[in-house]
Amino acid sequence: MRYHLRALRLELPALAEIPLVEVCELLPSLGFPVDGVEARETDPILDVDVTANRGDAQSHRGLARDLSARLGAALAPLSHTALAEGEALFPIRLEADACPIYATAILELGSVQATPEEAVGLLGAMGANAKQLAAVDASNELLHRYGHPTHAFDADTLKGALIVRWGREGERLVGLDGVERKLTAEDLVIADEAGPVALAGVMGGDATKVTASTRRVLLESAYFDPRVVRRMAHRHGLHTDASHRFGRGADPAMAPVARDLLAARLMAWAGARLVGAWTAGALPGVRPAVELAPGLLNRIAGEAIPLEEAELWLTRLGCQVARSGEGLQVQPPTWRHDLAIPEDLAEEVLRLRGFDRLGSALPPLEGPPQPLESGYLQRRRVAARLAQLGFFQTVTYGFVDPEEPPLGDEAAGRILANPLGQEYSLMRGTLLRSLRATALANLAQGAREVRLFEIAPTHRATPAGPEESWTVGLLWAGQAGGEDPLSPVRSLAPEEGRAFLLGVLEDLGAVAQPVPVAEDGPLGWMVELPLAALPAHSERIIPPFRPFSRFPRVERDLSLLVDLAQGYRELADAMAASLRACAGSAFQDLRCVDVFRHKSLPTGRQAWLMRMRFQALDRTLTGEDVDAWVAAALEAARAHGAERRA
């Protein structure tokens, strides 16, 4: 975002005494990094990073509020005179709950319009050119100065009532950019009796725009649901100054104030005469207060912060603060929609207080280590067992696209208020959708067999909000054997794949019914069930420490000739049992590291390279020890028809 230093100083006079360098150091300490400073003939332009949740700071007055809170300096008064409202002179109907308030006025413009030099300079600094149309320039200037988008219609082009409603399939609108767009029932539109005249909170329409010949204007200053505006802007590929601010949450209480400010500018800039002002709808209800307990604040800070100091910082932000028992009862201001939970308030206190004041060392920890949580131990045990059965753990996004096939995953009640994008706007209710997409991607890249599992939270909608529960999802697809060189590759009949997953579930101690990965063929099977349906982990203890050996590790390879039909597990178990019997704890591992099949080998035989690893805790192993253990392993292999390859 671009900020004109002169405009910032008009909102916060105390900045006039602070050098530019100090301003550029102060802003990052408040969470607004300065990316650059553009030198101009008058005052510099600051390029400042503003996070998406701080829609209130996307204006000069909004950024000045945070600076005012840190400096303890007063903002310049918002000089405006409230218009005397009367009877509605033009019918306004609000038929969509996404627009609770719509403040408007009708003015007759004078014959001469002149945009003041100060406004022209501000618009130029923001990268916009003044149009020398008072209604347009004043609306744009107000947006950059105070952050609340407004709009002016040519009142003589409107037909009948002005209606805020949902769009209708097949309706079209030509925007101010001259592009015709097809509307849907998900679009919030401003319409008259003839049809849509604007995309609410995004862009006005070409047919009702203000021109040099306009003599009467109807002003619009409203509040629109941020989620609706974001979805519309994304759907139509539009990013406007208005959608950027409405989509991040405007201040609903600013709607009548911005209307009054716009009308005052038209009277001053164009000699306009006020015909009438009125408001349709009402401000949304007051949000519930948030309670900040001192224990939470001190835990997040890592040190004790006096409650009086927290009250001071929050009051400077514009919050209404009252003592409630041992904590604070905080009513956030209407422009701070991001302050919704106690942690938000604690972060604001620490931010304004200064993160540099936090201690550089962790507070002392006392008491013995706490036992690991039983749910964590259960998840770890299930993941380890599935990995032993040949499944690969995957981690997929917890947010999905509500427009994708649902798999019985109803979206109601789990839509995010401020998503990263449309495709990440739904809290998932199933793991199967993500597992299936991952499996299909792997098969498309040439994988012959896919065994996947995921252990993650899923959500279901309840009257109290989304409810989280841990879920385990399994998927098998492709061909049996897959990448394993010891197993022949073959396609499984549909019921064989289903029986395989049922066997895995039985191994875990659970019962559930797999469903096909694809409806049009036996591609594979998948299943999910609540983690609570699996046996709980019986041990809730701190894992015992196993000492590390200080002595060298020894590895020996043994190349065996075995029959092509030889089962790996049977042979490996026999060799491992022999090694445990003779080597004891010094035996650590046995595995096949290479399979060799070639016409140079005896007919019907293949070569397996078996690697053994030994390490003792109390001594360095000798060659005689290891030779004897390898000989014992070879004898166990010979008992199963294997022989040493020359």
Q: Is 121 in the same domain as 269?
A: yes
Q: Is 112 in the same domain as 256?
A: yes
Strand ranges across the sheet with 605-614: 587-596, 605-614, 554-563, 643-644
Q: Is 408 in the same domain as 343?
A: no
Domain end residue (candidates: 281, 314, 344): 281
Helix 494-508 with 374-388: angle, nearest 10 deg: 140
Q: Is 269 in the same domain as 297?
A: no
Residue 380, C-beta contacts closer than 8 angstroms, at least 6 positions apart: none
**Average pLDDT in the 443-451 region?**
88
* Helices and strands, number each (H, E), in the chain: 16, 28
In a domain, 364, yes or no: no
Using one digit for the tens of pLDDT, what is the confidence trace for 29-85? 999 999 999 987 668 999 999 998 999 999 999 999 999 999 999 999 987 789 999
Domain that holds residue 64: 2-71
Residue 231: helix, strand or coil by DSSP?
helix
Q: Is 132 in the same domain as 181?
A: yes
In a domain, 443, yes or no: yes
Instruction: Indicate the pLDDT class of residue 464, thresholds 50, 70 and 90.
Output: confident
**Chain centroid, CA 128 distance in Å:** 32
pLDDT exceeds cutoff 80 at 223: yes
In the numeric block, which tokens belong to residue 551?
């002595």
Three-class SS of 108-168: ECCCCCCCCHHHHHHHHHCCCCCCCCHHHHHHHHHHHHHCCCCEEEEHHHCCCCEEEEECC
Contact predicate 1/55, CB 8 Å: no
Neighbour count for residue 35 (Cβ, 10 Å)? 9
Using one digit for the tens of pLDDT, what is the confidence trace for 99-134? 999 999 999 998 888 899 999 999 999 988 889 999
Closest CA to 37 of 72, 2, 83: 2
The residue type at 297: L
Q: Is 275 in the same domain as 296?
A: no
Contact predicate 74/165, CB 8 Å: no
Task: Name which residue leads in pLDDT, 255 or 358.
Answer: 255
Q: Is 124 in the same domain as 267?
A: yes
Assign residue 436 the CATH number of its domain: 3.30.930.10
Using one digit for the tens of pLDDT, what is the confidence trace for 281-317? 999 988 999 999 999 999 888 888 999 999 999 999 9
Q: Is 311 in the same domain as 264?
A: no
Using one digit for the tens of pLDDT, what is the confidence trace for 534-578? 988 665 555 567 788 999 999 999 999 999 988 888 999 999 999
Neighbour count for residue 226 (Cβ, 10 Å)? 21
Assign residue 122 the CATH number of its domain: 3.50.40.10
| Segment holding 626, helix H or strand E | helix 623-638
User: What backbone torsions phi and psi does residue 332 show, to the nearest 5 degrees?
Assistant: -65, 155
Q: What percent of the chain has pLDDT over 90?
A: 70
Contact predicate 531/472, CB 8 Å: yes
Q: Is 181 in the same domain as 275?
A: yes
How many domains is the chain built from? 5
pLDDT exceeds cutoff 80 at 628: yes
Contact predicate 259/150, CB 8 Å: yes
Q: Using CA atoms, how far apart are residues 629 and 631, in angstroms rounded to an integer?
A: 5
Using one digit for the tens of pLDDT, what is the confidence trace for 612-622? 999 999 999 99
